[in-house]
Amino acid sequence: MHELSLAASIVDIVERHAGGVAVRSVYLKVGRLRQVVPDALTFGFEALVQDTPLQGATLELQLIPAVGRCRACGVETTLEEFPLLCGGCGGLDLEILSGEEFFVESLEVEEADVGGGERAAVD
Amino acid sequence: MLEEASARPSIKTVVMEGVLDANDALAQANRADFDRAGSFVVNIMSSPGSGKTTLLERTLERIVPDVRVGVLEGDVRTSLDADRLERFHVPVVQINTAGGMGGSCHLDANMVRIALRQLPLDGLELLIVENVGNLVCPAAFKLGEDCCVMVFSVTEGEDKPLKYPQMFRAVSLVLVNKIDLLPHLDFDMAKFDRCLDDVNPGVERMLLSARTGEGVDAWCEWLRARHKR
């Protein structure tokens, strides 16, 4: 996976949502089936934000396990490796329930100084 | 959620935006243009040197002028591939990805969208996109195509599907090329089939040789059956 161009997409998303406020952390959910290399993505992100208002922001990856539900026997299996096999019957016909996520979930931003701007404080 | 982490407290801003959403939105815009024009679009992917362009030449020899076809050629640099197709007098647009983020290793929906401005899409029944030679990234970047096809060659090793599962899972047809070389190789076709079925169970595959023409008619029939909708 070309982590640098993915990191560039992430930077673009963060800039749009940060609204000019300093960003501490970017929380990213990455499914294990996406074959993203975490270190390369983090490295790319940090390289791209150097000397920009986002400098210092960290990329926090949450890796989501791949889980499949067998269409033949209904068993749900956590999938570690190819071939993706049902842990119950060994079948290959699986509905992928998780593991293909790839999105920016949230940002941790510095609270704005005085007055201006909306706060999107969410629990 | 307020934290006293440093001098300034921090708050959480919800984003929930897919990393590839921007590309996917452009892919959908491309898709709408393809639908309006009635064009069937095939995204052909493979590693470098598998024989995509040679196969494309053999294909165009057979389907032009019966099928109104256009081609988008993707390469990091040069118009060498597009030049090879010039003799068919079909619309061909060369996309060079160099100059992007240091030379992009795959086509994305934005590049295709820009290239479409130069293509007379309304007259095309079939649009073939020859992606940049690369077994990793093209699989992740939707272009708005109808289907993805891989050109795999028997000089590459039977275990490639296990090494590049995302690519082999992204395609609905695997063309196994260079079968004319089989007598000179120790390629185990049964093992390749098993590896392929491990990552994309039952995916359609065809054996062919772009060099000798063996099996190419069947591939052209596959295309003909699909572009007429």
Tokens describing residue A115: 């007055």
Looking at chain A, which residue has its C-alpha nearest residue B202?
Answer: A92
What's the CATH number where A92 sits? 3.30.2320.80
Query: Is the Cβ of A100 closer than 8 Å to some Cβ of chain B?
Result: no
Chain position carrying tokens 């089939």: B193
Beta bridge partners of B92: B71
Q: How many CB atoms lie within 10 A of CB A37?
A: 12
For residue A2, give the nearest of B14, B137, B165 by CB distance: B137
Query: Is the Cβ of A80 closer than 8 Å to some Cβ of chain B?
Result: no
Q: How many CB atoms lie within 10 A of CB A99?
A: 19
pLDDT of residue B8: 78
pLDDT of residue B186: 96
Residue B188 to residue B182: CA distance in whole angstroms: 9
| Ordered DSSP codes for chain A | --HHHHHHHHHHHHHHHHTTSPEEEEEEEEEGGG---HHHHHHHHHHHHTTSTTTTPEEEEEEEPEEEEETTT--EEEE-SSS---TTT--S-EEEEES--EEEEEEEEEPPSSS-S------
Answer whether residue A106 shows pLDDT above 70. yes
Name every residue in B having a CB less than 8 A away from some CB of A. 1-3, 5, 8-23, 100-102, 104-106, 136-137, 140, 162, 165-166, 197-199, 201
Average pLDDT over chain A, rounded to whole?
88
Which residue out of A5, A62, A71 would a mutagenesis test of the B interface target, given it has the greatest number of B Cβ atoms within 10 Å?
A: A5
Answer whether residue A116 shows pLDDT above 50. no
Q: Do B12 and A24 touch (CB under 8 A)?
A: no
Contact list in B for residue A82 (CB cut-off 8 A) is: 162, 165, 198-199
Q: How many CB atoms lie within 10 A of CB A43?
A: 15
pLDDT of residue B3: 47
| Ordered DSSP codes for chain B | --B-SSSS-EEEEEEEEETTHHHHHHHHHHHHHHHHHT-EEEEEE--TTSSHHHHHHHHHHHHTTTS-EEEEEEESS-SHHHHHHGGG-S-EEEEE-TTSSSS-SS--HHHHHHHHTTS-GGG-SEEEEE--S-SSGGGG---S-SEEEEEEETTS-TTHHHH-HHHHHH-SEEEEE-GGGGGGS---HHHHHHHHHHHSTT-EEEE--TTT-TTHHHHHHHHHHHH--
pTM, two decimals, is 0.86
Q: Do B106 and A2 touch (CB under 8 A)?
A: yes
Beta bridge partners of B151: B175
- Which domain, by its residues, includes A6? 2-122
Residue ranges for chain B with pLDDT beneath 70: 1-7, 99-103, 229
ipTM over 0.90: no
pLDDT of residue B81: 81
Give the count of domains, chain A.
1
Q: Do B9 and A111 touch (CB under 8 A)?
A: yes
Q: Report the gap between the CA of B50 and the closest CA in chain A (Å).
A: 20
Q: What is the pLDDT of residues B79-111, one digit of tens each?
A: 888 788 989 999 999 988 876 555 678 899 999
Query: HSE on the CB side for B182, CA within 13 Å?
Result: 12
pLDDT band at A115 (very low <50, low <70, confident <90, very high): very low
Which residue out of B2, B6, B8, B19 would a mutagenesis test of the A interface target, given it has the greatest number of A Cβ atoms within 10 Å?
A: B19
Given CA atoms B26, B32, B36, B38 in this order, what sign does their dihedral have? Answer: positive
pLDDT of residue B9: 87
Which residue out of A33, A45, A80, A82 would a mutagenesis test of the B interface target, given it has the greatest number of B Cβ atoms within 10 Å?
A: A82
Contact list in B for residue A5 (CB cut-off 8 A) is: 100-101, 104
For residue B17, give the nearest of A103, A113, A119 by CB distance: A103
Q: Report the gap between the CA of A60 and the closest CA in chain B (Å).
A: 14
